[in-house]
Every structure is written in structure tokens, then in C-alpha cells.
Amino acid sequence: MKIAFHGQRGSYAEAAAAWMFADQDIATVPTGSAQGVIDALLSGAVQLGVLRFENTETGTNYDLLDLLRHKRLHFNREITFHERYNLAGTRNATRKGVKRLLSHPTLFHLCSTYLSRQQGLDIIARFDTAEAFMAVATKGTPEEAVVCGDFAASIYGLSIIEAGIENNAASATRFIALGPELLAPQGHEGTVHTAAMFELKHEAGALMEALTAFKKYGINLDVLTGRPNRAGDRGYTIYVEFNGRHSDEANKKALAELAKFTTYLQVLGSFDIVMPRIKKA
């Protein structure tokens, strides 16, 4: 099974794909953008795609929701874990011996507090992080190092000099696996969720009535968030998540009731939650 992910080899998106489908024979395919993942799925070049969906610091990836609007793609699985970043180099490298640090500017930003305290360290931006990791690994000079995650360090054969240098060790990132099928996964109570997004009629009390559809059938919303839609008409797109499958009787009735108050309703999918195979830093 081929799984596309947004990022380069060794990224946490690739790690998320490997952990979510550890029980299957997979081949991961890197892409340069979320749109690239979507295009690969729609063309049939891959069977699944993995993307970052939410972070405790930056919030929901609304751009992804925009990309999924009216697409026949669905949430199939999720995993949430902490992305730990490290100072890594050759096996004989030490912090005092490192003079040049190579990595993507985004990784430097995530580790800015640690890096601001370092003396005698040249920060060199590399937009192709995989190339930077490989260069440090193959050149073998202890004067060069990179900022990378645990997964990248393991696949490029880099030694961790200082672990956990990211700004916030408590942050967590949620990854979603997308697929062309609307699934109804089996699982224990609380391990399967359904996601949907909708827009309301411009009527007084529309939101209250829409939410009453969930209350009527005893459904608790685990997530409720909104953002201005892209139409520029002062309308809002609402995103919700709730327990169970879209095919569960109560959920089916609630969604049917909800549709009465909306101008647009899309069930993004029912998905099971995979526990991470690493501990939080």
C-alpha cells in the first residue's frame, strides 16, 4: 500500500504514516505540499495520505479543510504525539565541537529558545532538510550538525548530541490519514470518532437549532470550531467531531436533522485513533 505524506524523508509525517499502519506492508511517498498529497490520492497514485491536522500551539489546519471541501476523500485514522527535535550529528560530535548548524528555517523557529542561547554557532538554512541530513551523515565532520526529529536521526544514521531542544516539550501534533473510502471502523467506545463540517442558513437561531440536532440524539461534541468561509459573504464554516461512526443510528439521525439547517454539509469521515508508539518527551 502506498501512502503519500507532506514532507521529506525522516519527517514526523512519515513517522506518523509508519506508526498508524505498522501492521501493514506500506511504501511512503514524500510530497512537497498538502495539495500534492490530495492530488496523489485523487489520481489513484497512492491509496492513503497523511497530513498534519492540528497542533496544540497553532490550532487546526484550516487550509486542509478548505482543500477537502467537496472532495471524495475521508478521514480514516488519526494519531497524536509530541514532535521532539534534537541537535544531531556524527557519532563523535559534541556540542562544543559543533560550529555549523544546518536545517530548515521552520525547525530553527521551533527550537529558537535553545538556539538563541548558543555561542559560536553558525545557523545555516537548508530548505531541503533531507539533503542536509544526508550531507552531515556522509561527510562525517563533527563540526556540522542538524536539527532533526528522532525518526530522521534513526533513518539517516545520525547521533543525538542534545535531545529535546524544541521550545515547548508539552505540545502535541495530530496527524490524519486520508483515503477515498468513507469507513465505519470497528473499535471500543471512545476510539472511533466522526468529523463533519457545515455552513448555516443566515437565519436567527440557526446555530442553536443546528446544535440542538446533536442534543436531541444524546451526542456530545468533542470538537466545535468555526472560521470565516472563503465566499466573503460573512458566512462561517463550522467543524465538529463526535464519538462513534457516521453509520451509528443516533449519529445518522443527528446528521439528517442537522442537514435541515445547513446550506452545506460534508461528512469528512469516521476514523479510529491509534496510540503513539513513543512517549512524550
Q: Which of 136, 162, 188 is the last residue of a domain?
A: 162
Domain boundary among the residues 101, 134, 162 is at: 162
Asked whether residue 61 falls in the same domain as residue 153, the answer is no
**Torsion (CA) 118, 124, 129, 134 in degrees, nearest 10:** -90
Q: Say what the pLDDT of residue 72 is.
A: 94
pLDDT at 231: 67
Residues 6+ apart with CB under 8 A from 185: 76, 77, 192, 245, 270, 271, 272
Q: pLDDT value at position 244?
A: 95
Q: Which domain holds residue 52?
A: 2-82+172-274
279 within a domain of the structure (yes/no) = no
Q: Are residues 37 and 93 in the same domain?
A: no
Q: Do 98 and 222 sit in the same domain of this protein?
A: no
Among 144, 162, 180, identify where a domain stops. Answer: 162
Do 73 and 25 fall into the same domain? yes
Examine residue 154 and state whether it is found in any structural domain, yes or no: yes
Let me know if residue 12 belongs to a domain.
yes
Mean pLDDT by 10-residue block, N- to C-terminus, for the chain (281 residues)?
94 95 96 96 98 91 93 96 95 93 91 93 90 90 95 94 94 96 85 95 85 95 88 80 96 96 95 73 39
Asked if 203 and 192 sit in the same domain, the reply is yes
**Whether 72 and 200 share a structural domain:** yes
Number of other CB atoms surrounding residue 247 within 10 Å: 12
